[in-house]
Copies of this chain bind each other. A is one copy, B any other.
């Protein structure tokens, strides 16, 4: 019976209210200091976290972005291999479909009229060099080479080394050390970057293109951070300059440039206060070693057919600048 009473007492004690015992010190100096500290903390929370950092804001970083690009500009080249050629955007932009990643040809080497057949491997290819037929294993491909070895070694001069004969697209590409960019005025080509963004959570959408009915503005303007922040047209030379590099230097061997569009918006300030910010950086260098593995080039081909049905092709080695448009953003409200 005693233990039951104890249990009931314990259960009832659950309904007791337990609180700390306080001492009140009626010392005015300590009291004022204590309130000042409290006010400082409250002031910090309201002033910094809420007003300045907007800590109460809900943010959305799931940006949906669409980038469409269009280049304008024409260049004329005159080389012994290709003759006089006029380059429009349909030729120098690869791929041509106006994506956010695009490559602009600034320099090239054409090897026209290649046909399948037998010829000497390029002397650039280390494993294709030979002194006698024994060095050329017939039926094998040359490592990093252009074709299948026939087994013969072609030496122009008894004392020198030659190269293995191959079956492949002949003649092979000649040695080429670019000296200057053939599409010299590529610097003046313009790129029109249309960027549409959406934040589905807040049903917010905006574009980096000025909302104007004046069509001629978008034909003649050039981007300027201060004067024309909503003109989405950039000269290529201007982009590399903003990234800290000279376009002509990059154009010889090629390179890679990043264009970052940053939308950091506070929707409380209204639609018109949400601006795109552009940042430009060169992507294919490191701070420590600027020489390593520089340049950007690749090869592509155009196939033709003789009226006899034989296939021949033009091989293009193109050097140029790759532009990579990246869109980041977050909004808060």
Chain B residues with Cβ under 8 A from A17's Cβ? Answer: 24-25, 27, 30-31, 33-34
- Indicate how many identical chains form the complex: 3
> Distance in Å from the Cβ of A61 to the closest Cβ of chain B?
11
A residues 244-260 near B (Cβ < 8 Å) are 256, 258, 260
Partner of A20, one of B21, B28, B260: B21
Taking a contact as CB atoms under 8 Å apart, the answer to whether B287 and A205 are in contact is: yes
Q: Is A292 interfacial (CB 8 A cutoff)?
A: yes
Q: CB < 8 Å: which of B30, B70, B86 contacts A147?
A: B86
**With contacts A25-B19, A286-B205, A293-B209 known, is A256 near B66, CB below 8 A?**
yes
* Residue A218, interface by CB 8 Å: yes
Q: Is B25 a contact partner of A207 (Cβ separation < 8 A)? A: no
Question: Interface residues of A toward B: which range?
Answer: 35 or more
A interface, CB within 8 angstroms of B: 13-28, 30-35, 62, 64-66, 68, 70, 72-76, 84-86, 88-91, 94-99, 101, 103, 116, 126, 141-148, 167-169, 185, 190, 194, 196, 198, 200, 203-207, 209-212, 218-219, 256, 258, 260, 271, 279, 281, 283-289, 292-293, 296, 298-307, 315, 322, 324, 326, 328
Query: Given the known A-B contacts A20-B22, A288-B271, are A74 and B141 also in contact in the complex, defined by CB atoms under 8 Å?
Result: yes
Say whether, besides A75-B141, A86-B116, A126 and B219 are in contact (CB < 8 Å): yes
Complex: chain B residue closest to A204, CB-CB? B287
Q: Which of B74, B126, B285 contacts A196 (CB 8 A)?
A: B285
Whether B219 and A68, one on each chain, are in contact in the complex, defined by CB atoms closer than 8 angstroms, is no
| Most B CB within 10 A of own CB, among A32, A90, A185, A198 | A90
- Do A167 and B86 contact each other (CB < 8 Å), given the known contacts A17-B34, A305-B304? yes
